[in-house]
Chains A and B, each alone.
Chain A
Amino acid sequence: MSVADALGIDPSRLRESTDDLGRIAMVVAGIAFWGWLLTRWLYDWAFARLGIGPGEGENFLSPTPFEEAAAALEGSVVALGPVRIPVDWLATLVDGAALAIDVAPALATGAWYTIVLTAASIALGFCIAVPTAVLRVYGGPFRWVALAYTELIRGTPLLAQLFVLYYTPYLALWLNDVDIVGQGFVPDYAFWIAILGFTINGSAYQAEYIRGALESVDEGQLTAARAIGLSKLEGIRHVVLPQTLRYAIPAWTNELVYLIKYSSLAGFITVPELYYRASRIASSTFEYMPIFTLLALVYLGIVLSATNLMARVERHVAVPGIGRVEGRQQG
């Protein structure tokens, strides 16, 4: 008799109920995270400009009560003896909450840059990656062009690429001369250079993932497409790529997750994204540990949202025989 039987618990019911709990917790966390970001963005760009509320970039809540509570807890620590350690932890936590309220507006604005930077770069990179991968696999004598591009971009550090673009003569000047750059909602030229850099860099990695998926589509698929009179390019477009992209989703998601995080390198060319803002605050307050912990949590929120979204996309586009297969959890 197993433990579960002895306790009168049906293990499958137990698994279901913990699954449900996990799902509910994820949904609640997701709503809280995106609720916070969306409210903040909306407020900063609309209501704050109309003079409503505390003002752009100012806290919604006051951190003062948390700061006072933390100070009180810390003050009582000495007298408490054996329970001093948990109380000490609690004090740190409450102190962290006060800090979180303080830095939340800056992190929310930074998150906007991070998300736009990532979304634009991954999408533009995809548009370069697909032809590059196709050229690599089907390009015949021109395959080396795709190979050279991929190896050059993959073989050099992203940070170096960003600096090269940032200091390319006339590129920044030319971008600055574009009237709308740096005006109103449109970010500064550094932001556009970062998008360019991440697009190029990401496209090389995406091309490799797509190449792998292209090669996993049976050669006979293209042969059959050509046998009914489609040209090679049409066959690739209508038969090979639709299968390839389904196969590529898991690996492509991996690249998306990487890009979310290495978009922090844009901070080095002065783009005020998440990492840049957090490090600026940390170096002026010396609260490195809690600020970078908060920063990590924001990245985690964005990454989990992205993987969740891509899992949905994967399920949505799956067809029998291609893509996500149910029932792998055998036994």
Chain B
Amino acid sequence: MSDRPKTTDGTVRERDADASARGTEPLLRIEDVHKSYGDEEVLRGIDLEIDRGDVEVLVGPSGSGKSTLLRCLNRLTEVDSGHIYLGDTEVTAPDTDPNAVRQQIGMVFQDINLFAHLTARKNITLGLRKVRGLSAEEARQRADSELERVGLADQADSYPAQLSGGQKQRVGIARALAMDPEVMLFDEPTSALDPELSNEVLEVMQGLVAEGMTMVVVTHEMRFARGGADEITFLADGAIVERGPPEKLFENPERERTKRFFESIRHE
């Protein structure tokens, strides 16, 4: 983690420009991850490598384990067996501090989960103050620049209840970005939103893609998957069925199961 480039102004992320020069070492490595809830095995041996700057979209029918896999990545859910590495750190190692890992992995939730008692700005400053130890003034400046980045500079003093769903989710993204993460995880970020509100969130996400942010995205938004993903992984019943670039999975999947899934989505 020592070579982690630090950007403080939040708008310019230079680290990804030289990501390719860093070599081929993947940023996220998932090795044979298993997870069960009771008798039900929701992850049956997942192996996946995600390069720095790549956008990985996880798709699959509900109950396929996509969200569980995402939550294992920042240890909101503990794996039963297997290993997950972020750079040189083993996330799943017992002596790894999950709080330290989570600072480097931003997460955006389906049900948004903005801190209901705090304004948009304070939603962002809380982590900066209590986790990063920034001063009140530094945190405020950082929060305002993140809000500006997601186009909500004018809503800094609004409470979550005063924001639309799309605005809330953009604050949710800004809150995660403010911690300056290596990877951003998106757990169905638009499925709780009306279609017209989804667009503003997707635009922010497209902006992150353009900046070269490493992202793992669980979504049913095939427009985003098609336009933004470097790789799409199709999961079913807790296992990876097929993985490949969007055009291949959309147009020419190898597996019958994959083909049926994408056809069913197209009919929606």
Question: Which residues of chain A have a CB within 8 Å of any CB of chain B?
Answer: 218, 220-221, 223-231, 234, 238-239, 242-243, 246, 319-322
Of A223, A238, A242, A319, the residue contacting B130 (CB under 8 A) is: A238
Question: Given the known A-B contacts A223-B109, A229-B99, A238-B126, are A322 and B179 also in contact in the complex, defined by CB atoms under 8 Å?
Answer: no
- Tell me, yes or no, whether B169 is within 8 Å of chain A by CB: no
Cα–Cα, bound, A239→B129 (Å): 13
Of A220, A224, A226, A243, the residue contacting B117 (CB under 8 A) is: A243
Cα–Cα, bound, A227→B160 (Å): 18
Question: Given the known A-B contacts A228-B179, A229-B127, A230-B127, are A220 and B109 also in contact in the complex, defined by CB atoms under 8 Å?
Answer: yes
On whether the beta carbons of B103 and A229 are closer than 8 Å, the reply is: yes
The minimal Cβ–Cβ distance linking A38 to chain B, given in whole angstroms, is: 36
On whether the beta carbons of B116 and A322 are closer than 8 Å, the reply is: yes
On whether the beta carbons of B113 and A220 are closer than 8 Å, the reply is: yes
Task: Collect the chain B residues with CB atoms within 8 Å of residue A246's CB.
Answer: 117
Task: Collect the chain B residues with CB atoms within 8 Å of residue A227's CB.
Answer: 74, 76, 102, 106-107, 109, 176
Cα–Cα, bound, A224→B115 (Å): 8
Residue of A nearest to B123 (CB): A224
The secondary structure that dominates the A interface is: helix
On whether the beta carbons of A230 and B99 are closer than 8 Å, the reply is: yes
5 contacts between A and B (CB under 8 A): A228-B106, A229-B100, A229-B102, A319-B159, A321-B161
Cα–Cα, bound, A228→B105 (Å): 8
Cα–Cα, bound, A234→B129 (Å): 12
Residue of A nearest to B119 (CB): A319
Residue of B nearest to A222 (CB): B113
- The A-contacting residues of B in range 91-120, CB under 8 angstroms, are 98-100, 102-103, 106-107, 109, 111, 113-117
The minimal Cβ–Cβ distance linking A222 to chain B, given in whole angstroms, is: 9
Cα–Cα, bound, A74→B160 (Å): 68
The minimal Cβ–Cβ distance linking A323 to chain B, given in whole angstroms, is: 9
Of B111, B117, B126, the residue contacting A228 (CB under 8 A) is: B126
On whether the beta carbons of B161 and A320 are closer than 8 Å, the reply is: yes
Cα–Cα, bound, A321→B130 (Å): 24
Task: Collect the chain A residues with CB atoms within 8 Å of residue B130's CB.
Answer: 230, 234, 238
Residue of A nearest to B99 (CB): A229
B63-104: CB near A (< 8 Å → 1, else 0) gives 000000000001010000000000000000000001110110
Question: Given the known A-B contacts A221-B115, A238-B126, A321-B159, are A226 and B109 also in contact in the complex, defined by CB atoms under 8 Å?
Answer: no
Cα–Cα, bound, A239→B98 (Å): 19
Task: Collect the chain A residues with CB atoms within 8 Å of residue B175's CB.
Answer: 228
On whether the beta carbons of A242 and B117 are closer than 8 Å, the reply is: yes
- The A-contacting residues of B in range 182-220, CB under 8 angstroms, are none
The minimal Cβ–Cβ distance linking B186 to chain A, given in whole angstroms, is: 12
- Tell me, yes or no, whether B131 is within 8 Å of chain A by CB: yes
On whether the beta carbons of A223 and B113 are closer than 8 Å, the reply is: yes
5 nearest interchain CB pairs?
A: A321-B161, A224-B113, A228-B127, A220-B113, A229-B103
Residue of A nearest to B162 (CB): A320
